[in-house]
Amino acid sequence: MKKITKKMMSAMLAAVLAVSTPVSVPVMNNTALAAEESQLETVKEWTSQADYAAWYYGDGWEGGYQGSEYSKAGLGYDENMDALKVAVDYSKDKAQTWSQMAVCIWDEGLDLTGATQAELDLIYDSAKLDGGLTIKAYSNAGIDQYVAVNTENAETAEGTNLSKVHVTIPFAAPVSKEASDFAICLIGNETSYKGNIYLKDIKIMKAPSEDIDVNSTIPVKDTTELTLAKLSLTSEVTLADAEATADTKAVYAYLDAVGKSEYVIYGHQDDTWHKAGDLLCKNGIESDTYDITGSLPGVMGVDTLALLGNEYSAERYNNEIIPITGEVPLPETMEGNLQAIANISNQAIEAGSIITLSSHMPNFSVVEEKADYKEGDPTYMKYDFSGYTPNTLSGDPVNQILPGGKYNEKFNAFLDVIAAYAKKVDGTILFRPFHENTGSWFWWGAAFCDAATYKSVYKYTVEYLRDEKDVHNMLYLYGPSSEAASMEEYEVRYPGDEYVDMVGFDMYNIKAPADNSAWYDSFEKELQIVNDFAKTHNKLVAVTETGAANDPQPGENQTALLKTGNEARDWYNKVMEIVSKSDASYYLLWANFSKTDGYYTPYVDSVNEDGTLHGHELLDDFIDFFNRQESLFAVNQKDVLDAVDGDQIQAVSAMKDAAGYITAPISGSRILEPTTLQAKVNGEYSEKKVKAEFILHGNTDIKVKAKSKVKKGETCYSAELSQKNLDKLGESVGTIDLVLNGVVKDTVNAVFNIQPPKEDPYMIDDFENYYGQETLLTKSWSANKATGNTIALSLVQDADKVFSGKYALKFDYNETSDGWAGATISKTVDWSDCNALDFYTVPDGKNQLVVVQLSAGGKVYETYLNLYEEYANAEAGTLLHVTIPFSKFVSRDEAGKPAGGLSADCASVTSFGLWVNAIPDSPAVADGMVAGTIYYDHITATQTENTEAVIVPAK
């Protein structure tokens, strides 16, 4: 992606899947070589002045990069360095996690056959590198790989004060054809680096390859015989959009019927344009599923990244599809990109697939306006939505995208992109916005907004698409993470029956063992909770994301399935059997990005003369899954979907009476002066039908009647909170209710007449500024946990737990033997004048893996208290004073967990976390569970002369 390349998505996914502590960042590895140096053979190299002089700036390769003119003027051979000099300017791109430019070489007949990796020396000024760098190799010969530059391995370039790193970029597979181009993309990762970078001794190498593929032994023989008569179709559906198209009503009825049957639909993200197998595309279909089975998946996942030209594009469509179809090429513009992915979606629909759309939305606080925008162009042409920033957690966008918020116009323009795509799609879209919201790895996560704000943002999204843009071919999905331990917990952020058609959850299986019963049990329990919730609320249900995944293997950026040695070989069938017992209609696997960027299904590399397949070791297992009676692919459901007559199905609105939500003030706001209270009420209800008022609860209750303003498709209500009424509320932590026709429809939190505390940039928390109100505590600290685990945060005033002031944090956990739980708080600050973290804690004596975590410089750094002898041996209940130098924190997501990086990255701290991970064989684990309570107080950055951690009883 960046342009956005496919790999960053798999890197982002690793963030979601990280088990030790779930808040994470892309994990990339540039330390592994495809083979030993002595075995490598040079295919092509650029090492001389004449070689370097032939390189040119790659116009059009930019993704989130604003330094083009600087780079064009500063590219060329450097005599002193005997290297290719590349001037880069990321000074305007500091907020971008992926800011890409490129240098290129063109050589007709460039033969890269057999090449397995590229390598070069990267020379840079470490004093200017305040973030990270990534290098990508690209060629039309099929090379499209990237690695992060491991600056920990830097040495001094001879005769200079510059740093040098040798970078190796392994390719997904040996190159099998000639090329005419090769490009090196330099990508800034949250850096403001401005100056020269030198590329020296650029080589493309090849190594002997070992064939670890297997031949299939089971023939593809689908036994599924699905007919309309085998399904019990309803004649009436209750929808968030009562004006849904006939096809959308039909798809809803079909999914409902499948969910209540023994059948399970197989789903796969990005199925027809991302693949791991080497088999050449058939009729423009780049699908591992199709290569194995001859069918597309029953549900195909698309992400809005593809709508923007990041994961798919008009350029790719023109190169791959147009030569086959002979159609008129699409314009390589935003409009062309939208049409390209719509065409691909329609092709899948025609084959029998159902489309589901997820959205890794950009962080709207870093989205810039385009200088070339012309009045009258579509609204989304006004903004640059390129770059991958859903995991950029700064800027507070989620609290600023509702009407009146400073990013509302940008958000509306982004929704206009989705609406434009939806109107080009000849079928139904299962739209899943703001997914995995109960975690905190995306800017809309639990750490960055309270439940009331999340619900309002979701509702607004539905209303905008449905009522403002007249999109009526969507079903709306609510898909959080998988940590809910009860229906009540699942409901905390649920937007409401009026706005949701389907519920689900995302749950991945990490390092699936041969005896995978523990994960299957957890998966089944979570599915049962969500299934029961769906029944109670009369909603469809699905497993919205799943898959088996592993830690990155040597030479791979991300790893889902292993190339060899996967133990849970019956995974697809086992998951299907569990889903089949529920009302869930499908489960969706994440994408097959490439062999080195993660794949969730097996793949085919070639077809043998006898027709058997040659490819990944799970081929037989996946064929067996396809052949099962219960599994549904596109080929199985096409005729049935075509036969369902949506015109004969009645749609009933899920909205039974007036529904609305407060748009201002945002939940949790501090109200210090007279302010306007605002709410939206669904447009079905005119002002004559609704009596609206706000009730404010502080030291006393204040009731304010709301006045309406009717616009197309909506009714807005507002009221003024006067100084007199504000005074009556007093200094209090309270709430504001929206009451429609005597019924409370929405409630937001508010702080009345209490001045904000003075900001201390060094203090993470001393727990005094919540005034003893745990609603304020849990708004700042976002909890997260594994399935079947619990965590509770509260404030205590016990003298033996509090270091200073009145309050300390109480951290209660109850975990399975392989579980985890924790909480994070946002903190964007420069700690470059500090070198240590200082806090007070009371251990519980359970000595589980007690994690203290800092996110900084785009990386996650951790230290583990139980590994310090002074902590592990301390008597439970003892208040300890802990000082840990930054140099002792390790980089969680780098191979070997190297220490020291936080000392360099502490200028860009973004969050802090406290976690407990259960240790399975610990004496504290009893009957598969471990529970405990740890206390924390006065967590701050400091300066220390000590080079080792100091843990002593508090004075």
Average pLDDT, stretch 365-375? 93
Confidence category of residue 60, pLDDT binned at 50, 70, 90: confident
Query: Mind listing the pLDDT tens digit for each residue in 19-46?
Result: 333 332 222 233 333 334 447 889 999 9
Confidence category of residue 637, pLDDT binned at 50, 70, 90: very high
Query: φ and ψ at 368, to 5 degrees?
Result: -105, 155
Average pLDDT, stretch 618-642? 97
Query: φ and ψ at 753, to 5 degrees?
Result: 60, 20
> Which residue has better confidence, 548 or 37?
548
pLDDT at 22: 35
Beta strands in 112-253 (DSSP E): 115-124, 132-139, 143-148, 155-156, 163-170, 178-189, 194-206, 214-215, 236-239
Confidence category of residue 441, pLDDT binned at 50, 70, 90: confident
pLDDT at 24: 28
Confidence category of residue 906, pLDDT binned at 50, 70, 90: very high
User: What is this structure's pTM?
Assistant: 0.79
Query: Mind listing the pLDDT tens digit for each residue in 747-769?
Result: 999 999 998 888 899 999 999 98
Helix (H, G, I), strand (E, B) or coil at 580: helix
Query: Mind listing the pLDDT tens digit for each residue in 555-576?
Result: 787 899 999 999 999 999 999 9
pLDDT at 778: 84
Flag whether pLDDT at 829 surpasses 50: yes
Query: Mind listing the pLDDT tens digit for each residue in 871-886?
Result: 999 999 999 999 999 9
pLDDT at 95: 84
Average pLDDT, stretch 442-470? 93
pLDDT at 715: 75
Flag whether pLDDT at 263 surpasses 70: yes
pLDDT at 10: 32
Amino acid 899 reads A
Please name the residue ranges forming H helices in 748-876: 774-780, 869-872
Q: How many whole angstroms separate alpha carbon 200 and alpha carbon 166?
A: 9
Confidence category of residue 161, pLDDT binned at 50, 70, 90: very high
pLDDT at 622: 98
Query: Mind listing the pLDDT tens digit for each residue in 388-402?
Result: 999 888 889 999 999
Strand partners, 854: 861, 912
Closest Cα partner for 575 from 638, 628, 501, 502? 628
Query: Mind listing the pLDDT tens digit for each residue in 639-651?
Result: 999 999 999 999 9
pLDDT at 277: 93
pLDDT at 688: 62
Omega cis (within 30) before 885: no
pLDDT at 20: 34
Burial of 108 (0-12, 13-18, 19+ CB in 10 A): exposed
Flag whether pLDDT at 8 surpasses 70: no
3-state secondary structure 279-311: CCCECCECCHHHHHHCCCECEEEEEHHHHCCCC
What size, in residues, is the chain?
A: 955
DSSP string, 338-372: HHHHHHHHHHHHHHT-EEEEE-----TTS-EE-TT
Range with the poorest average pLDDT among 17-31, 719-733, 894-908: 17-31
Flag whether pLDDT at 4 surpasses 50: no
Query: Mind listing the pLDDT tens digit for each residue in 215-256?
Result: 999 999 988 889 999 999 999 999 999 999 999 999 999 999
Average pLDDT, stretch 938-947? 96
Enumerate residues 6+ apart whose C-beta is below 8 A from 314.
330, 331, 332, 333, 336, 337, 339, 340
The half-sphere exposure of 481 on its side-chain side, counting CA atoms within 13 A, is 25
Confidence category of residue 365, pLDDT binned at 50, 70, 90: very high
pLDDT at 789: 84
| Direct distance between the N- and C-terminal alpha carbons of the chain, in angstroms, rounded to an integer | 53
Query: What's the helix, strand, coil split of the chain in %, to 5?
Result: 25, 35, 45
Query: Mind listing the pLDDT tens digit for each residue in 805-824?
Result: 999 999 999 998 888 999 99
Q: What is the mean pLDDT of the chain?
A: 90
Closest Cα partner for 703 from 746, 737, 668? 737
Query: Mind listing the pLDDT tens digit for each residue in 490-539?
Result: 999 999 999 999 999 999 998 999 999 989 999 999 999 999 999 999 99
> Which residue has better confidence, 714 or 51?
51
Flag whether pLDDT at 291 surpasses 60: yes
Is residue 853 within 8 Å of 862, Cβ to Cβ?
yes
Query: Mind listing the pLDDT tens digit for each residue in 674-699?
Result: 999 999 988 666 556 788 999 999 99
Closest Cα partner for 681 from 519, 506, 459? 459
Is residue 857 within 8 Å of 904, Cβ to Cβ?
yes
pLDDT at 64: 86
Query: Mind listing the pLDDT tens digit for each residue in 112-127?
Result: 888 989 999 999 999 9
Flag whether pLDDT at 939 surpasses 50: yes
pLDDT at 710: 63
Average pLDDT, stretch 917-943? 95
Average pLDDT, stretch 343-368? 97
pLDDT at 714: 58
